[in-house]
Copies of this chain bind each other. A is one copy, B any other.
Amino acid sequence: MKLGAIEAGGTKFICGIGDEDGKVMERISIPTTTPDETIGQVLEFFRSKEINAMGIGSFGPVDLDKNSDTYGYITSTPKPHWAQCNLVGEIQKHIQVPVAFDTDVNAAALGEMEWGAAKGLDSCIYMTVGTGIGVGAITEGKLLHGLTHPEMGHILVRRHPEDSFAGNCPYHRDCLEGMAAGPALEKRWGQKGIELADRPEVWELQAYYLAQALVNYILILSPKKMVIGGGVMKQEHLFPMVRQQVISQLNGYVQRSQLTEDNIENYIVPPALGDNAGLCGALALAKTLKS
Contact = CB atoms under 8 A, between A and B. Distances in A.
Contacts of A222: 144-151
A251 interface: yes
A147 B219 contact: no
Interface in A198-220: 212, 215-220
A220 B220 contact: yes
A155 interface: yes
Interface string A211-244: 0100111111111100000000000000000000
A154 interface: yes
Interface stretch (A30-38, A90-98, A156-164, A270-278): A156-164
A220 B147 contact: no
Contacts of A137: 220
Contacts of A221: 144, 146, 150, 220-221
Oligomer: number of copies: 2
B219 A155 contact: yes
Contact of A158 (B139, B146, B158): B158
Nearest to A143: B140
A156 B254 contact: no
Nearest to A215: B156
Nearest to A159: B158
Interface in A101-139: 123, 137, 139
Given A154-B219, A156-B212, A146 B172 contact: no
Contacts of A29: none
A100 to B, nearest CB: 16
Contacts of A123: 146-147
B255 A76 contact: yes
B254 A223 contact: no
Contacts of A148: 222, 254, 256
Contact of A150 (B151, B155, B220): B220
A48 to B, nearest CB: 37
Contacts of A157: 156, 158
Contact of A253 (B150, B172, B253): B172
A249 interface: yes
Nearest to A253: B171
Interface of A: 61, 75-76, 123, 137, 139-140, 142-152, 154-159, 171-172, 212, 215-224, 249, 251-256, 258-259
Given A154-B219, A158-B158, 20 more contacts: A61-B255, A75-B255, A139-B140, A139-B142, A139-B146, A140-B143, A140-B144, A142-B142, A144-B222, A145-B222, A147-B223, A147-B258, A150-B221, A155-B216, A156-B157, A156-B158, A156-B212, A156-B249, A171-B253, A220-B221
7 contacts: A75-B255, A137-B220, A140-B143, A146-B222, A155-B216, A156-B157, A172-B253
